[in-house]
Amino acid sequence: MRSNPSAGARVHVWQEVLCMKPRQIVERVQWLGAIDWDRRLFDALIPLPDGTSYNAYLVQGSEKTVLLDTVDPALAHVLMEQLEGVPRLDYLVAHHVEQDHSGTIPVVLARYPEAKLICTPKAVGMFVDHLRVPEARLVAVEDGETLSLGDKTLQFLHTPWVHWPETMVTLLQEDKIIFSCDFFGSHLATTDLYAQWDKVHFPAKRYYAEIMMPFRKLIVKNIEKVRACAPAMICPSHGPIHNEPEPILAAYEDWAAGEPRNVAVLPYVSMHGSTKLLVDHLVAALAERGVAVEQFDLAATDLGKLAMALVDAATVVLGTPTVLVGPHPLAVQAAYLAAALKPKFRHATVIGSYGWGSKAVEQIAETLSPLKCEVLAPVLCKGIPRAEDYAALDSLADAIAERHRDLRPA
């Protein structure tokens, strides 16, 4: 009599049954990879409310076969099952060392001992350090270098700081397909092979805000590099394929280099209600003056949505009570997030309350100092706000509205 498999074994078998089959993009170019429906956190830091996917791509030329990227090691079995019908792999292209793309590389290299791993020169040492890939298996390619697969040609284009220093993209010249890894990606679990812009716009913007925005000035140059290829299709390593590239290219250009919009972002935390009274008054005053406001309660907000709001904002107003003469820890976190993401807002200030003394403004200003934005006059009240505090908020609203006068609408 057969014994029942363990629960873990049943789950593994069930996963294997549900593996997506390779899907054709164009002749002899296939999507491979894994859809991670249930993942909710990335790098123990980034929320994934819509799951994600890890996309790999197989290109079969008349003479050589190449796999571009792999999948997160937790789903290695999915990719390896998809490769069952591929008897030989000549090359494996690694666009980026981060493990959600590269973690299954050692498994693939073990199955295909003849395969060479192609990467940028900066990635060589990183693959040795992070994944212990033998140097003999690594081939470094220069910017613009090409590789013939017979009737198909790959061209490697270095795109540093999108979003690590070693990253690159690959152009399949004959089909005008850009394999872009994290560039133009979206954390979105979906069975859609191709992007529907109304569906992918939100997760793509969130992805840009959380991952790409700190490097926006460098990203502008790399967008130009991609545009020069006139791609017919962009195949990222997260989310669906952009078979109509213009919407994502135009969006990235706007997010990275477009002028800020008439938006003030107001993340706040309030312990006993005084700061919330200030926030409510300022939001109403700004709205009355035609300034759009996005308000976030830091005790409950999704930081990914806050990051998205920072993409377009012209002004940030941070609301905080005083804790032991400094800003509330959640306000410190929000200021640190803004400084790390390097959005393009031009003005910042602090509103808040205190009991007997406060250094909140000085500490927040110091955290935001790398952004070199204009610091507007703060408004801090002692205890419950008084009439003069509300008048100061009205003056602050006037100052913000004046600075937003010629900005694009929200």
**pLDDT mean over 341-346:** 96
Q: Which domains does the chain have, with CATH numbers?
A: 13-257 (3.60.15.10), 263-403 (3.40.50.360)
pLDDT tens-place string over residues 39-82: 988 877 788 899 999 999 999 999 999 999 999 999 999 999 99
What integer pLDDT is reported at residue 18 of this predicted model? 54
- pLDDT surpasses 50 at 204: yes
Q: What percent of the chain has pLDDT over 90?
A: 92
Q: How far is CA 247 from CA 196, 310, 346, 377, in A?
A: 10, 20, 26, 39
Q: Containing H/E element for 33?
A: strand 29-36
What integer pLDDT is reported at residue 12 of this predicted model? 41
What integer pLDDT is reported at residue 14 of this predicted model? 39
**pLDDT mean over 247-252:** 98
Closest CA to 162 of 146, 178, 173: 178
pLDDT tens-place string over residues 2-46: 333 333 343 444 344 457 899 999 999 999 999 999 998 887 778
**Residue 136 · residue 114 · CB < 8 Å:** no
